[in-house]
Structure 1
Amino acid sequence: MLKKLSYIILFGLTLTSCSDTLDDINKNPNATETPLAPYLLTGTLKQGADLYWGSENNFNSSLLFVQHWAKIQYTEPDRYDVSNTSFTSLWNTGYATLITDLNTIINFPDAQANSNYKGIALTLRSWTFLLLTDAYGSIPYKEAGLKVTPAYNTQKEVYTGLLEDLAKAQSLLASTNGTVTGDLVYKGDVAKWKKLVNSLRLRIALRISDKEPALAKQAAIDATSDAGGLLSSNADTFKFTYISSPQQNPASAWFETRDDFRISKTIVDKLTELSDPRLPVYAQLPSDATVGKYVGGGNGLSNSDANSQGFAKTSKPGTYFLTSTSPAVIYSYSEVLFNLAEAAARGFISGDAETLYKNAITASFNQFGITDATAISNYLNQAGVKYDASNYAKSIGTQKWIAFYGQGLDAFTEWRRLDYPVLTAGPATVLDGKIPSRFFYPGTEQSLNGVSYQAAIAAQGKDLLTTKLWFDAK
C-alpha cells in the first residue's frame, strides 16, 4: 500500500508540447501516461483522512472550539487569537487536491473508471463539499474546478445540490458494475459504499432541518427507505485505519515531538459527572502518579495560566487516539443512530426516538471497546442520561458531543446546530465571550477571487469567526 501511495505523486497533469519530436524524447517508456483510478482513490482516502483528523482542522481548531481538547501551551488557537491563514488547509487541500482528483475519476471514460469508481468519487466529493460548507458557509460549488474565479453558492444551494449528487452516486453504485481496487476503507465492498451514501443523505437532511423542514423530511425518508440501507453496525463505520510511520495517524505524529495539548476540563468534568466508562479511553492519567485521577485542561487560558496547570498534573488525550494505527473515524454507526433518533423525534420518519438514542450510546460504547451490558445499562438509566422527549436536542446534542470525541469538524457542526451542550468561552478568549461559529475564508480568496468573495460575504455576512451560518441561524 505504501508503494501505491508513493506512486500518487507521479500522476500530475500531462504536459503538452508543440513538437512531436520533443514529445517522443520526453516520454518515459516505463511511466504511466495517465492517472489511474485506483491510485487516485487511494490518495484521496489518505489525504482526506489526514485533512479531517489532522492539526489545522481538528485538534488545533475545531476540537478546541467544542472543548474536547485544550492547549496547555501556545494557547492562541484556544483563545481564538487567529487569522485567516489558520484555516487554509481545509480549503486548499479540499479544492486543489481532493475535489480535483475526484473530478478526474468522475470524468474518466468508462474504460478508465467503471461506474462504481465514479459513484465512490461522487460520494467522496460530496463529503468534501459538505466539510467545506459546514466550516465556511457559502463556497464555490457549481463552478468549482470549472472556472479560475468560481462563483460562490449559498449554503442552502450547496446542501440541496449535494442531496442530488448523492442520489446520483447511489444510482452509479451496484455490485454488477465492476470491481474496485485502491479502496483502503471498504476494500471495494460496494454495498458498504451504498450505505455510506444514504447515511450522508441523512446527515444533510438534519443539517437543513431547522431551515427547510419539508425538504429535510423528504431527504430523511429518501435516505432511510432506499434499498441500499444505512451504516448498520460498527463494522460499517467509515474510517481510515493508519499504519506505521510515515503513514501514521496525524495526532500520533504530532505527539512524537510536541506536548501542547490536553483533554479539555469541560469533557472530563462531564464524563466524571456521569461516571462514563469512556473516560479512560478518551484520556490518560496524569504522568504524576500522585494525582491519581483524570484532570482536564482549561480552555481559553493565557499561556501562563495554561502552563501553571502543570504538564505532569493534567491528562493527555487517550492512547486510543495517539497510536500510529489509531483510525480516523469519519462517519460512525453511532452517528447514524443519533441521526435516526433525531429524525424520529422531529417526525420525519417512523421509529422510537428513545430506543434509537439508547442504541446510539451503546454503539459508541462498543466502538471504543466497552461491551459490558451491566455497565451500559447502569449508564443509560442515570437521570443525567435518560432521554428527554421534551428537549430531544439537549439529550441528543450532549450525548452526540461525547460520542464525537476526536471528530472535531463534525462535533463543531453538530454543536452549533443543536446548541448543546452549553459551552462557555475561556477567560482569555478574544471574541467578547463568544465561541467561533465558522472558519475564516483563506486570505487568497480576497486576492485571487475577490469579486466572488465580496459577493459571498455581502449575502452571508462579514468574514468573521462569529458570523452564524445559514444552517445555524435560528
Structure 2
Amino acid sequence: MKSSYKKLALLFPLALSLGACESDFDKINTNPNNSEVAQPNLLLTQIIRSNVTRSWDVAANMDGGLLIVQHWAKIQYTNEDRYSFRPAAIQALWDGFYAGGLQDANVVINQGKAANNASYQGVGLVMRSWQFSLLTDMFGDIPYSQALQADKFVSPAYDAQQDVYKGLLADLKTASDLLASKQGSIQGDILYNGDTEKWRRFANSLRLRLAMRIADADPATARAVVAEVLGADNVFRSNSDNARLVFLDATFPNDNPVYETYKTRDDHRVSETLVTRLKAVNDPRLAVYADRPVAGGDYKGVPNGLLAADATALGLEKTSLPGIAFRRETSPAVLMTYAEVLFFKAEAIQRGFVTGVAATEYNAAITASMNQHGITDGAAITTYLAQADVAYNPASYKTSIGNQKWIALFGQGLEAWSEWRRLDAPTLTVARRPVTAAGGKIPVRFLYPTQEQSINQASYSAAVARQGADLLTTKLWWDKF
C-alpha cells in the first residue's frame, strides 16, 4: 500500500513541475510505437501469474501460513518457524498486493467497462476480491473503500474487517452476475482459458468461502449468502473446476515459486506434526505430501520452532522434503478446490443453513481431496473413511471438519491458517522455542508493515484502536473462539 500511495503522491508534484518547465514534454517523450494503456488481455495474464505466485511464495506461504499451521517446518534459518517474521518480507507482501495486483485488477475492471465487456469486468472483480480477502485475513482491518485511489486518498483509512467482508461479498455477487451474461470474451486467461462459466463458479465458491468464514461473527449474513449460493448450485462441481495455476516451465517467472526457491535454498521440510497425524490414520496422502529422506528410511518430519543449530543437526538428508508433486517447476499453485466447497457444504448443513446430509458431503470432500492428489482406489478410500478417528462426528463437527480440512489444504498455507483459526482444529502445539513477539502462542495475524506507522500513521492508529493492539496474538473480527 505504501508503494501505491507514496509513489503516486511523490510523482504528482514532480509531474506538475515538469509541465511548468516544458509544455510539450508529453508529446516529445511519447513513443508512437508503444501503447500508453496496458492491454487488458496482457494485464490479466500478469495479474493471475504474479498474484497467485505471491500467495504461494516464501513470505505468505512457505515462511508464513505453512509454518504456522505446521504443514512445513524449517531445518535452516528457523526464525520464521519461531514466529519471528521478517519486517521487510511483510512490507513487500503488503506493497506487492496493493501497488501491483490490486491496482492492475482495477485497470482490467475499468477497461472492461469502457469496452462494454462484462466478462472482463467480472474476472477483474473476482481477482480483486480474492486478493483483498487474503490481505484482510492476514492483517485484519485494511485500507479498502479508500484504497487504490491515490488521486483522492494519499493516506487511505482502514476499514473494519466486517465492512471489508460486506464489500467483498457484494462485489463477488456482482462478478457472478456479470459473468452470467457471457458478454465479451476473456483473453489472456491462464487460469480458466476464457471459460466464463468456470470463472462464475469460482466467484460463487469464493462467496461461499467468505460467508462461512464469518459464520461465527455474523451468522445471519452467512446463512443468507450460503443459502443463496448453494441454492443456485453454481459452485465448483468437480475437481475439474479447481482454481489452480499450472506453471509452464523452469524459467522464472513461469515456474512454481516453491521450485524457484529450492533452486538456491534448502530451508524447509515437512512438519513432524503432519507426518505424525497422517501416519496415525494411515493417510495415503502422506506419500504425496512428503518424500522419504534421501538417506533412506521412513518419512521423518521436523519439529516446528527449533533453534537453528538443533534443526540443522537433524540432517538435511535424514528428514523429509515436501513431496515432489509440490516442488516441480510445473506444480500447480492452488487458489481453491472442490474439496473445500464440499467441506463448506457439510458445515453449512450441520449449522442448519441449508438442508442435506452433512456426513455425505464430508465424506465426498475427503474423497475429492484424495482424487485431487491422484488417489483413486475406492476401496482404500472407503477403509480410510471408516476409521474412528476419521468418521464424521456431528456432535463435534468443527473438530471433524477442521482436522480433515487441515489435511486437505496442505500446500495452501494462507487458507489452511484461516480455517485453523476459525475452526480451532486440529489442536496444534506452540513452537518449541517461540520468540517473545508471539507471547508463547501461535500467531493469529501478521503485524502491519512498519512503514504504515510512518506513511499512514493516523489511519494505522485508528485501526489499532478499533481492532486491538498490533500484535501477532490479536484475533481478527471473524475469529470468535
**Above 0.5 in TM-score?**
yes
| Counterpart position of 2:194 | 188
| Counterpart position of 2:355 | 350
One-letter amino acid matched to 2:48:
L
> Distance between the aligned counterparts of 1:162 and 1:235, measured in 2?
25
- How far apart are 1:174 and its partner, in Å? 3.1
**1:119/1:169 contact within 8 Å kept:** yes
One-letter amino acid matched to 1:136:
F
The one of 393, 398, 402 equivalent to 1:393 is 398
| Counterpart position of 2:242 | 237
CA shift digits 1:25-50 (9 cap, x unpaired)? 32222211211111111100001111
**2:112/2:120 contact within 8 Å kept:** no
Superposition RMSD in Å: 1.6
- How far apart are 1:81 and its partner, in Å? 2.2
**1:224/1:230 contact within 8 Å kept:** yes
CA shift digits 1:360-411 (9 cap, x unpaired)? 0000000001101111111111111000010100000000000000100000
The one of 294, 303, 326 equivalent to 2:299 is 294
- How far apart are 1:131 and its partner, in Å? 0.4
| Counterpart position of 1:437 | 444
> Distance between the aligned counterparts of 1:201 and 1:82, measured in 2?
30
| Counterpart position of 2:388 | 383
Q: List gaps (5 residues or longer) in structure 2.
A: 1-10
1:245-264 correspondence runs (5 A): 245-246=251-252, 247-264=254-271
2:269 is the counterpart of 1:278: no
One-letter amino acid matched to 1:119:
G
CA shift digits 1:182-240 (9 cap, x unpaired)? 0001011000011011101110111110011111100101211236x001111100011
| Counterpart position of 1:207 | 213
> Distance between the aligned counterparts of 1:88 and 1:380, measured in 2?
43
One-letter amino acid matched to 2:87:
N
Give % identity.
Answer: 48
1:135-150 correspondence runs (5 A): 135-146=138-149, 147-150=153-156
**1:105/1:113 contact within 8 Å kept:** no
- How far apart are 1:171 and its partner, in Å? 1.8
What SS class does the counterpart of residue 471 from structure 1 fall into? Answer: coil
CA shift digits 1:317-339 (9 cap, x unpaired)? 00000000000011011101111
- How far apart are 1:432 and its partner, in Å? 3.9
One-letter amino acid matched to 1:353:
A
- How far apart are 1:260 and its partner, in Å? 1.0
What SS class does the counterpart of residue 472 from structure 1 fall into? Answer: coil
What SS class does the counterpart of residue 478 from structure 2 fall into? Answer: helix
| Counterpart position of 1:4 | none
One-letter amino acid matched to 1:355:
T
**1:123/1:197 contact within 8 Å kept:** yes
| Counterpart position of 2:203 | 197
> Distance between the aligned counterparts of 1:176 and 1:465, measured in 2?
44
Q: How many residues align?
A: 459
> Distance between the aligned counterparts of 1:400 and 1:375, measured in 2?
19
**1:57/1:89 contact within 8 Å kept:** no
| Counterpart position of 2:322 | 317
CA shift digits 1:127-186 (9 cap, x unpaired)? 111001111000011111121111111111111111111111112113540111000010
Q: List gaps (5 residues or longer) in structure 1.
A: 1-11
| Counterpart position of 1:24 | 27
Return closer, same or farther for 1:250/1:109 CA change in 2, 3 Å cut-off: closer
**2:118/2:182 contact within 8 Å kept:** no
> Distance between the aligned counterparts of 1:91 and 1:258, measured in 2?
24
- How far apart are 1:125 and its partner, in Å? 0.6
One-letter amino acid matched to 1:242:
F
One-letter amino acid matched to 2:226:
A
One-letter amino acid matched to 2:292:
L
Return closer, same or farther for 1:176/1:200 CA change in 2, 3 Å cut-off: closer
One-letter amino acid matched to 2:206:
L
**1:136/1:440 contact within 8 Å kept:** yes
What SS class does the counterpart of residue 275 from structure 1 fall into? Answer: coil
> Distance between the aligned counterparts of 2:92 and 2:266, measured in 1?
22
> Distance between the aligned counterparts of 2:26 and 2:432, measured in 1?
63
